[in-house]
Structure 1
């Protein structure tokens, strides 16, 4: 059914297929042995397998009755009062525990999170909660303290192994030059494995893997920084918008690439330190701002002052 979508075709359906650290695997294996879980908070960057693991737990490990809610879409207190509470207060069909998955829980309003805290306590005897969050700092402390928090950032080597497995499954071989490009590409997009898989599929449309230095948007980063530090920051916005397709409009990823580039640059220690702080603050703001492109351009204007 999903043969044309690699990210779905190769989505794990059992625990052994999920990429995670050995420590995290030991924790989840314990849940599998006990067939019981505490309230869980899975955190990490987008594309690291938070939702996949949550569904594997309810479908494969616990085999229990569950409710799934995308909390970024249904993020108001009414969702907690109606759907969540109504599901939590009833017994399961088999008498076992039920699970409520609140995906992207960091999208819940503050009022909804406070209401959820009370629901988690009131129905703890029969209902467990699995929360996922890209930005766990947006989860109120009262919720975090009621969950066991697990960072699902996968090991880099395991991400590379998964891409090799997918390419082998698709019958796509790569030469040594392309393998080096692939390693750089995976590292530059790490830890977003979903993005990596989608992009690799795009670059194999002809039946062979064709990556280049431009694939990791290094040229864009170099050009942006050169314009910014040479007094031409007003040209940056037009250049970046014209090249959005090369980085898929992912401004947070572009900021991350820029952070690494400045960190390895020949700027003075003072300039480098100031620049990294400016970029880090802009990356933090990506969790809140409405327009990512404006946030990025604001960052470039601040960086332009490094050479003043």
Structure 2
């Protein structure tokens, strides 16, 4: 995949930076002397603060710059699936749903560009000593971004910001981080297949089942294999029927006579729990004149209502809303497998124990199946409208048996004289046919034939590490495609104390907590990095804290102490938009660099350079439009150019305003003037046109009105009144008021000004 243009055309050295001559000159002195103090970069977004830090690191450290440079900040998309425990109850959810649960009810702490909330009852799956385990979460964090990456890999996808880190294996078999923006097609990221124990063996109910002879009260269902199998069948083939919202039925429909054995299974279960039922033949498919299906109807209103709550999303009882009930995740492993078997027999094809394909119109259900099977010891992958389950021996190899070959080959090459078997023959495909992955069985065979007593201490550590990985639940999947997407919404991250890793995605991928802004991060991750000595001949390492004005006061105080303690081996570069939000003790320890918005000629020069390399025609009107939209923000200017290039090879003002959801300045000005002339209806019609045709949000409209106020030909006092009214409108919209009503009210105030 081609990198986003912001990264593709980002300067690599200080000499390539434009628009900040004095700053570059000062930074070059640090490179020349191999010495520098802590630095504080301040200025608006997109003016080169991060770029300057990266270029400084490259010029200082050369090829070892990545090992000596730590950058913090990022997050994942709101619809990213994740398996969590809330108050001890397992739930497959998304970050958007966690947002509703915690940010609506929690004690929210504000950040400059976002916020976070403490979570005392939340746990996630992570890795500890190469084992998949549950760990508590300290914070849930969110902020807004414009762009996001969609990373598609074998068996699933995940959406995250370019700065978010995923976990990968390094050459010594250690877990390490890699930014999503640095990933490329063919890279390997980490997933898992494990067998997590479950404790639930019964489901408490409060259902009365009534037939003509007696009333039977069921207080609980034993979660044995038969019950779990029937629940899996219901997920695949079941439906609910209610008459006048009082009489309920649980309905199973099977093919007749081919699937009559499934009906007999449900009938046996109904008898075991004393549940009344009746059976009838019915038609199905295109031929409604032939009995091709058979139904069993369980007569139980209250249990049907509980099924409505357990098996469906948002309460709508349709197949597209089907979900796996939360209690299934907590049940014992034999029950989980029986449930999956019922699902497969109902809506699947293939052979259980080999390869099975389970189809569904419910996207949530497909993701549920992936996660449930992964914690139940079965490899699973998600595709369009189906999930595939794969067992040992069912194919030539399973992806869950594969690890990167490079780290094993490197070690075996080094200790080749202490391996008692012909390891090169075993790994001949990896050595001579460019096979980049190897099965765990193959490497374990070699590891078992190493003369461990002849290894050095360092070699033995690598040996133990590789052996632990080969016997772990972890494996790697290959990246197939990476896309840059428009987003403009919240992204999320979670903080796992003393671990900072968690699994998320359609198929679980091991991610790193990259949006680390709280006090716990300063006390753990930053300290861990600062403790280690720099690699190469570098005299110190660099920690780059982006958006450091978003750090809490406690976190900044912890950072101050860390800066003092590790100043002999580490330098900090803090980047912020508002230096006033940085506590004075930190400011006094830093050399301050103030980045101003880039000059028009600097932005134009860069845009023309990119347009020429990408084969674009950039018109003068198009350039002016990008300058207007970006307001000196080079990052935004390049993003707008790339987005416009996806629409047209000729970049003019019409294309720019359309893709950036901005109106022409003259249209905004015309709307204001109409309102100030008392022409409310005409101004309102133009407002609606801007919001509908140009896709502008209320905040976008307010910002553009604010930019046009100075150029209005009205009395200065009215300009002041207009800004005051604009501020009130902005506040109401931010607080959640209807933006269209508030903007119409703003136009009405402008009309009243015309009468004064």
Indicate whether the TM-score tops 0.5.
yes
SS in 2 for 1:171: coil
SS in 2 for 1:273: helix
Out of 681, 701, 705, which is 1:258 matched to? 705
Gaps of 5+ in 1: none
| Bigger strand fraction | 2
Residue 80 (structure 1) aligns with: 522
Distance (Å, rounded) in 2 between the aligned partners of 1:105 and 1:238: 39
Distance (Å, rounded) in 2 between the aligned partners of 1:27 and 1:281: 43
Out of 702, 713, 716, which is 1:269 matched to? 716
What are the superposed Cα offsets for residues 206-249 of structure 1, whole Å, 9 maximum, x if unpaired?
Answer: 22223239825225533653576448599698666546635xx5
Q: CA deviation at 1:43?
A: 1.9
SS in 2 for 1:245: coil
Distance (Å, rounded) in 1 between the aligned partners of 2:18 and 2:716: 37
The answer as to whether partners of 2:698 and 2:743 remain within 8 angstroms in 1 is no
What are the superposed Cα offsets for residues 42-100 of structure 1, whole Å, 9 maximum, x if unpaired?
Answer: 22222222222212222333444122111872111000001112222333234621111
Matched residues, number = 296
Distance (Å, rounded) in 1 between the aligned partners of 2:655 and 2:709: 18
Distance (Å, rounded) in 2 between the aligned partners of 1:222 and 1:35: 53
Residue 587 (structure 2) aligns with: 144
Q: CA deviation at 1:124?
A: 1.6
Residue 548 (structure 2) aligns with: 105
SS in 2 for 1:42: strand
> What does 1:262-301 align with in structure 2 at a 5 Å threshold?
262-276=709-723, 301=746
Q: CA deviation at 1:195?
A: 1.3
Distance (Å, rounded) in 2 between the aligned partners of 1:17 and 1:291: 44
- The verdict on how the C-alpha distance between 1:214 and 1:6 changes in structure 2, with shifts beyond 3 A counting, is closer
- The verdict on how the C-alpha distance between 1:257 and 1:50 changes in structure 2, with shifts beyond 3 A counting, is same
Choose 1 or 2 for highest CA Rg.
Answer: 2
Distance (Å, rounded) in 1 between the aligned partners of 2:42 and 2:744: 26
Distance (Å, rounded) in 2 between the aligned partners of 1:270 and 1:53: 43
Moved more, 209-218 or 120-129: 209-218
Q: CA deviation at 1:167?
A: 0.7
**Alignment pair present for 1:17 and 2:464:** no
- The verdict on how the C-alpha distance between 1:282 and 1:43 changes in structure 2, with shifts beyond 3 A counting, is farther
> What does 1:57-136 align with in structure 2 at a 5 Å threshold?
57-63=56-62, 64=65, 65-70=68-73, 73-94=515-536, 96-136=539-579
The answer as to whether partners of 1:278 and 1:302 remain within 8 angstroms in 2 is no
Distance (Å, rounded) in 2 between the aligned partners of 1:241 and 1:141: 43
Distance (Å, rounded) in 2 between the aligned partners of 1:30 and 1:112: 31
Out of 620, 626, 638, which is 1:185 matched to? 626
Distance (Å, rounded) in 1 between the aligned partners of 2:737 and 2:542: 35
Distance (Å, rounded) in 2 between the aligned partners of 1:130 and 1:299: 45
Q: CA deviation at 1:165?
A: 0.5
SS in 2 for 1:131: strand
The answer as to whether partners of 1:228 and 1:303 remain within 8 angstroms in 2 is yes
Residue 51 (structure 2) aligns with: 52
Q: CA deviation at 1:106?
A: 1.7
SS in 2 for 1:132: strand
The answer as to whether partners of 1:282 and 1:299 remain within 8 angstroms in 2 is no
SS in 1 for 2:623: helix
| Bigger helix fraction | 1
SS in 2 for 1:99: strand
Distance (Å, rounded) in 2 between the aligned partners of 1:141 and 1:203: 43
> What does 1:189-228 align with in structure 2 at a 5 Å threshold?
189-204=630-645, 205-212=647-654, 215=657, 217=663, 218=665, 221-222=668-669, 225-226=672-673
SS in 2 for 1:100: strand
Moved more, 212-221 or 130-139: 212-221
Residue 471 (structure 2) aligns with: none
SS in 1 for 2:35: coil
SS in 2 for 1:194: helix
**Alignment pair present for 1:304 and 2:749:** yes
- The verdict on how the C-alpha distance between 1:180 and 1:301 changes in structure 2, with shifts beyond 3 A counting, is closer
The answer as to whether partners of 2:42 and 2:579 remain within 8 angstroms in 1 is yes
Distance (Å, rounded) in 2 between the aligned partners of 1:98 and 1:274: 52
Residue 28 (structure 1) aligns with: 27
Q: CA deviation at 1:15?
A: 1.5
- The verdict on how the C-alpha distance between 1:195 and 1:91 changes in structure 2, with shifts beyond 3 A counting, is same
